[in-house]
């Protein structure tokens, strides 16, 4: 009986994935291919659990310059009276991966992922202060990925993500910053364009444990991203805005392949929340370096 049930389920799975693929493949596009590979939406891209793949961007930015350093970071609950000599030039690198923890939860086609991102800001050129790491942000998350077959012509919405996200800078005392949130995310592909919308709500913390009670005034409740895939490179812009705090940020990225999966990568940021320690600090930041891409 179990064998017949499994065979029936495999037939249903094949039919569902074929239907989903048929709708996505009405027009073969780079944006749809990116989503298929990133979230394993087709049988060809379906890897076993605990197989690691890239999550967010993996990059090294040896040249990074800010218009406004933050030597004396503050928050409403963490008053800082010490000023740290901080250079406008520094190095940043980011490492990000994800892996599936569970396939086909409760007999559905929903997958459970674990993602982890580490972003480090290194004052490499600040030799008078022994080249310290200014801040490192850690971001683990659990993500339920739900495939969909929503489409209208050549426009497709192939998935919906529900996630539990923690972000902190691993510091203590007056420099500690952290928050927990849940978010819902969806992506829309149209030919070589990708739109990504993420909306979140912060999980409450007690007043004694809240490092940054006003963080939503600067980070808002969501982010909209637009990406154009072209000739192996990408141009993207991401923006967020707090309607309660009337503050926000814009980040623009550009990448271009130079050898295999290695790409030149440039980034410009303007606004609040460039890092956690800078969540309430306004600045413009220009960076250039290298991006490691894991898809063709």
In the 8-state DSSP scheme, what is residue 106? G
| Residue 194: half-sphere exposure toward Cβ, Cα within 13 Å | 23
Q: Which of 56, 78, 166, 261 is catalytic?
A: 166
User: What is the widest separation between alpha-carbon atoms in the chain?
Assistant: 73
The SS3 of residue 12 is helix
Query: Could you give the CA distance from residue 108 to residue 31 in angstroms, rounded to a whole number?
Result: 25
Instruction: Report whether 277 contacts 257 (CB < 8 A).
Output: no
Known catalytic residue: 166?
A: yes
| Residue 251: half-sphere exposure toward Cβ, Cα within 13 Å | 14
Q: Which of 23, 151, 168, 284 is catalytic?
A: 168
Residues designated catalytic: 166, 168
């Amino acid at each position: 009986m179990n064998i017949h049930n499994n065979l029936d389920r495999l037939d249903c799975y094949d039919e569902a994935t074929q239907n989903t693929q048929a709708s996505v493949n009405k027009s073969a596009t780079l944006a749809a291919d990116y989503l298929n590979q990133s979230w394993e939406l087709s049988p060809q891209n379906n890897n076993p659990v605990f197989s690691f793949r890239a999550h967010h961007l993996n990059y090294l930015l040896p040249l990074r310059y800010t218009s406004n350093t933050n030597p004396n970071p503050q928050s409403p609950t963490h008053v800082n009276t010490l000023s740290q000599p901080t250079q406008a030039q520094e190095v940043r690198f980011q490492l990000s991966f994800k892996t599936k923890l569970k396939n086909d939860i409760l007999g559905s086609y929903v997958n459970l992922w674990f993602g982890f991102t580490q972003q480090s800001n290194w004052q490499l050129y600040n030799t008078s202060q022994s080249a310290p790491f200014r801040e490192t942000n850690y971001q683990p998350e659990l993500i339920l990925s739900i495939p969909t077959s929503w489409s209208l012509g050549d426009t497709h919405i192939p998935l919906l993500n529900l996630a539990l996200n923690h972000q902190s800078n691993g510091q203590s005392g007056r420099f500690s910053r952290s928050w927990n949130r849940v978010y819902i995310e969806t992506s829309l592909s149209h030919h070589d364009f990708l739109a990504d919308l993420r909306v979140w709500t912060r999980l409450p913390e007690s007043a004694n444990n809240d490092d940054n009670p006003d963080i939503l005034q600067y980070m808002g409740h969501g982010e909209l991203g637009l990406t154009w895939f072209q000739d192996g490179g990408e141009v993207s812009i991401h923006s967020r805005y707090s309607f309660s705090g009337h503050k926000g940020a814009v980040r623009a990225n550009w990448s271009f392949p130079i050898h295999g999966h290695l790409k030149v990568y440039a980034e410009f940021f303007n606004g609040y929340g460039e890092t956690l320690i800078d969540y309430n600090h306004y600045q413009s930041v220009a960076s250039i370096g290298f991006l490691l891409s894991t898809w063709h």
